[in-house]
Amino acid sequence: MALIPDAEKAYTDCTSGISQDAIMERLGNWRKFIDQVHLGDLPTCIADVEALIPGVEKAIADIKAGN
């Protein structure tokens, strides 16, 4: 629950300047994806997400550096 304000701020920052229709289309795509996710193997799911973190951190660093 403590992350919700940060997530909401990130959402606002990331979507400013995007039309409401584009936002709803993207949310719809995410909803379709989430509806298909089954968390039967939660430890493997968590490990998969954790494995993504270094790549996401690098992408964020590249964006900040203007690369």
Task: Indicate if the pLDDT at residue 1 is higher than 80.
Answer: no
Task: Tell me 67's DSSP state.
Answer: -
The 3-state DSSP class for residue 28 equals: helix
User: Helices (H) and strands (E) in the chain — how many of each?
Assistant: 3, 0
Q: DSSP states of 37-56 as a string?
A: ---TTHHHHHHHHHHHHHHH
Domain assignment present for 15: no
- How many domains in the chain? 1
Task: Tell me what the mean pLDDT of segment 27-36 comes to.
Answer: 77
Task: Indicate if the pLDDT at residue 48 is higher than 70.
Answer: yes
Domain assignment present for 26: yes
Domain assignment present for 9: no
Q: Are 15 and 23 in contact (CB under 8 A)?
A: yes
pTM, two decimal places: 0.41
Q: Domain of residue 44: give its range.
A: 21-65
- With a CB cutoff of 8 Å and minimum separation 6, the contacts of 23 are 15
Check residue 65 and give its pLDDT: 92
**Does residue 35 or residue 53 have the better pLDDT?**
53
Domain assignment present for 35: yes
Domain assignment present for 3: no
